[in-house]
Chain A
Amino acid sequence: MTSTVDAAPYTVEEVCERFDPVMGLEVHVELNTATKMFCGCRNEFGAEPNTNVCPVCLGLPGSLPRVNARAVEGAVKIGLALNCQVRERSGFARKNYFYPDMPKNFQISQYDDPIVFDGYLDVPLDDGSTWRVEIERAHMEEDTGKSLHMGGATGRIHGASYSLLDYNRAGVPLIEIVTKPILGAGVRAPEIARAYVSALRDVIQGLGVSDVRMDQGSMRCDANVSLMPTGTTEFGTRTETKNVNSLRSVERAVRYEMGRHAGVLLSGGSITQETRHFDEQSGTTSAGRPKETFADYRFFPEPDLVPIEPSAAWVEELRAGLPERPWERRARIQTEWGLSDEELRDLVNAGVLDLVADTVEAGAPAESARSWWVSYLTQQANTAGVEPADLAITPADVARVIALVAEGTLTNKLARQVVDGVLAGEGTPDDVVAGRGLAVVSDDSALTAAVDEALAAQPAIAEKIRAGKTKAAGAIVGAVMKATRGQADAARVQSLVLERVAAGS
């Protein structure tokens, strides 16, 4: 029996009655440097195909790579944030294999002297405890182009009638972060895998060196899983699952592979060392082409580049500039703002924690900042199908809107219209207020005139109010609000109505 027959997956609890899982996670992170790893082409997601290319990233004959210093800086920052050592002298190597989306048919990577190595990340788990994941290494390399396989059912190369190649991504700086084997996780292995990738994402986001968007491929995870019988120490044969493109998928892929391995092993089969593809729809994995399972990459030192030698002083400078760890920052924010665990989790899950924090930093009270981002702005983001951070409004804009409400220039309703205007690209909140003429009518003489006019128009109601039926004032307020197109403060109008009636108007 071979592993290509999918055995019925066992639950992780069932698996762990007989086996100990061993995991190794390889995460690729695209750096958000302005330019590519080895040339001056723009590094941007979503440009017209084959527009950000040059002789170097197309691997044209005669072209030569040159190292992007900002990418080296990003790699070192990631290493430091993961408590790694920084290598004094670190070289590039060529990884040789043929693939149409690789312009040179080798990838410039690093082999036995990665820029950073031997670190760890203390990963917060759902129950509040921490799991230490040991980091083997992180190294620099260049991304490949993208193949788009056309005419097939699966979008994979098999069955496609032709392929389109986009080399915009070729040469984008990548950092590959490799864990040491994660042992002893037991039934928590899938959760730990997800929590690790999630923590790594947060750390790198905090560094600002990558967009870490799994949905856009700027963060990608390959999960290696193997099982060994409980009580033994020799690792079983592993599989490497690729195409795991969300945090949830990381957890599901590990869970599925654990169950599948157990099924194969318990029915007397053996695991084939191979690459497997994760299917988001079904939550299962399938074997890659046999060709993908063994490759001799013929690594050798890249003769076109000289080794990188980061100075100790520079490394210390970067270390000193490392930001607070995201979860430490969260704990601090929670205390400072007096948030419940649930309120904090809502902020994190909605992806607005940093936005709220920045809004507070721009001068807004925490409560208002939180309220804007969690409700109205999150709704707008959902409607537009983007992340809140990608909305066309800055935390400073939101703080300004909050300030305008606090000083009485805007009502909450008007404030939402101002935000809509900013989102629609009409400029700053003040521009929108001016452009749309949205300021509250707070000029009492104008309001008084409007109130007098309304009272005069409805003498019966004015009489009722005079007789002490203050509730009747609502009709006058409504008329004034209508006349001012909603730009008056209703409470102020109410008191003006009562004042004018009492004054004998």
Chain B
Amino acid sequence: MSELTRLSAEEIARRVQAREVSSVEVTRAHLDRIEAVDGGLNAFLHVDRDTALAAAEAVDAEIASGTVRGPLAGVPVAVKDNIATKDLPTSCASRILEGWRPPYDATVVRRLRDGGLVPLGKTNLDEFAMGGSNENSAFGAVRNPWDPSRVPGGSSGGSAAATAAGEAPLALGSDTGGSIRQPGAFTGIVGVKPTYGTVSRYGLVAFSSSLDQIGTFGRSVLDAALLHEVIGGHDPADQTSIDAPLPPVVEATMAGARGDLAGVRVGVVRELSGEGNQPGVLTAFTDAVRVLTDLGADVVEVDCPSFTYAVPAYYLIAPSEASSNLARFDAMRYGLRVGDDGSHSTDEVMSLTREAGFGPEVKRRIMIGTHALSAGSYDALYGRAQKARTLIVRDFAAAFEHCDVLVSPTVPTTAFPLGERVDDPVAMYLADLCTIPTNLAGNAALSVPCGVSSDDGLPVGLQVMAPALADDRAYRVAAAYELARDTSSGTPFAATIPEPAVLETSS
């Protein structure tokens, strides 16, 4: 493994911009790394070496002529495969979109290119971002770099595994119910879900429009913050985008890294932080809270009683929106077409295509959502879920009246074994218990690694939640915690991520 694939994005950017190393060399190192380890991980669905190297070459040429497009110019990045890219397929890990090439770039992808970043390829995910283990991909499960028998989490499991395994220093994911934070926790890296509306969704293939949020992965808080500032900010193409300045997340990270949290009020969410968590997770979390106290934070316990409704409310709202968002996959204009042999009507072709093209979890959610929106069920299901959502918003508002940030474990368990929950959707859904409330309320949250669980040696995530448009607070706390964590252990946590085992049998 090249040293280049161990570097932080910040360090890569510094070296490339100082012309100590070229973006082409860095990009090639990561492409080589993908070639070496991805056969076992299956984190990438599409990699285009030539396009990536050409982009890197262009950035090098610009830097040579004195132009630096942005703080991360020259740094490679992986992009989740539900984000539209003009030069790479966008499949959403679904048979129904296999091979589809969008005629346009998502706003975030355009901003990556404008910032001089180099897209390496598209990463694997649960089909249409529906899942928490990456086992719902039509193109095979992703393995956890820490233990190939374990899931990397999901739905952004490919982006998380790629970042943890050094296939990319940075990655974009999307988080609808925890799909960035949960795999971030499972793979021992930083995962950020920004405030809803602060990163454009234009070009993100919609799962649940009112919950979906593009965010970042990095092996450090600063890397995630740097990427956040590249992709964030108002976009007129997304009417849910907020026309306000992006919270100063890089500055807040720098401030946090001075190691002082004096006066910061931290609320431990009682409903998410007690029994129900795996013992090793709870221990790691409690230790992390003690570190925050040591850093000067005022730690209190807060109650968010309505959070108990979050999972059921989410599993009505998200499927309802999904049932409508996924209606467009009908074989008429793009993607898979089944049964168009002259013997079937249009309606039959639509049905046959959807039958063949969607996996079981996607079908389950389309059916749940269709039912929840039906006349006669709407008020009892969708309508009630929206009321629960309002209660959760109020719980957050009340808690943020006397806390600057809230904390909890990111996930109640560590990464579970592949196959363990595939036949138990409810157990699978509970992996999102701690992350879903933030999606429903639209505020900001991130997951930062807080060591490994004493019972299995797998990474644990500390979730830091902040009010809407106050993402900077979460970054400040996470950065302070990260520094204290690494100082006390003597090794940066990122350096402890094990080299992925080469599997005997490929996935």
Contact = CB atoms under 8 A, between A and B. Distances in A.
Interface stretch (A103-111, A204-212, A217-225): A103-111
A94 interface: yes
Contact of B237 (A58, A64, A104, A303): A64
Given A62-B205, A66-B239, A304-B209, A298 B328 contact: no
Listed residue (B97, B103, B236) with the most chain A CB atoms within 10 angstroms of its CB? B103
Nearest to A101: B332
Contacts of B202: 62-64
Interface in A82-98: 94, 96, 98
Contacts of A305: 239-240
Contacts of A187: none
B107 to A, nearest CB: 9
B135 interface: no
Given A58-B333, A62-B202, A304-B209, A298 B236 contact: no
A299 B375 CA distance: 9
B240 A296 contact: no
A105 B330 contact: yes
B244 interface: no
Contacts of A104: 327-328
A63 B333 CA distance: 14
A298 B97 contact: no
Interface in A50-67: 55, 58-67
Given A62-B204, A96-B327, A303 B334 contact: no
Contacts of A66: 236-239
B31 interface: no
Interface in B354-375: 370, 373-375
Interface string B237-278: 111100000000000000000000000000000000000000
Contacts of A96: 323-324, 327, 373
A165 interface: yes
A55 B240 CA distance: 18
B209 A298 contact: no
A6 to B, nearest CB: 27
Contacts of B127: none
Given A303-B321, A304-B209, A106 B327 contact: yes
Interface of B: 82-84, 90, 92, 97, 100, 102-104, 106, 201-206, 208-210, 236-240, 320-321, 323-324, 327-330, 332-334, 346-347, 350, 370, 373-375, 378, 382
A152 interface: no
Given A61-B102, A64-B237, A106-B327, A296 B375 contact: yes
B92 A61 contact: yes
Nearest to B209: A303
Contact of A105 (B97, B100, B328): B328
A65 B239 contact: yes
A61 B373 CA distance: 22
A300 B327 contact: no
Chain A interface bracket (under 10, 10 to 19, 20 to 34, 35 or more) = 20 to 34
Nearest to A58: B333
B324 A298 contact: yes
Contacts of B378: 298, 300
Nearest to B386: A301
A105 B116 CA distance: 37
A299 B210 CA distance: 16
Contacts of B102: 55, 60-62
Contacts, number: 100
A353 to B, nearest CB: 41
Contacts of A306: 239-240
Mostly helix, strand, loop or mixed at chain A's interface?
A: loop
A487 to B, nearest CB: 60
Contacts of A299: 373
A377 to B, nearest CB: 45
A303 B203 contact: no
A296 B324 contact: no
Given A60-B104, A65-B239, A304-B209, 7 more contacts: A55-B102, A61-B90, A62-B202, A62-B206, A64-B238, A98-B347, A296-B375
Contacts of B323: 96, 298
Nearest to B105: A62
A267 to B, nearest CB: 33
A67 B239 contact: yes
Contacts of B239: 64-67, 304-306
A64 B240 CA distance: 10
B240 to A, nearest CB: 6
Interface in A213-264: none
A100 interface: yes
A98 B327 contact: yes
B321 A61 contact: no
A219 B69 CA distance: 51
A269 to B, nearest CB: 28
A61 B328 CA distance: 8
B336 to A, nearest CB: 13
A448 interface: no
Listed residue (A59, A67, A94, A298) with the most chain B CB atoms within 10 angstroms of its CB? A298
Contacts of B370: 298
A98 B236 CA distance: 29
Contacts of A58: 333
A303 B210 contact: yes
B328 A103 contact: yes
A61 B378 CA distance: 26
A98 B84 contact: no
A62 B106 contact: yes
Contacts of A61: 84, 90, 92, 97, 100, 102, 205-206, 328-329
A270 interface: no
Interface string A279-302: 000000000000000001011100
The 4 closest A-B pairs by CB, nearest first: A105-B327, A303-B209, A298-B373, A303-B210
B346 A100 contact: yes
A62 B382 contact: no
B369 to A, nearest CB: 9
Contacts of A64: 201-202, 237-239
Contacts of A103: 328, 333
B374 A296 contact: yes
Contacts of A55: 102-104
A394 interface: no
Contacts of B103: 55, 60
5 contacts: A61-B205, A96-B323, A96-B324, A163-B346, A298-B370
A106 B329 CA distance: 12
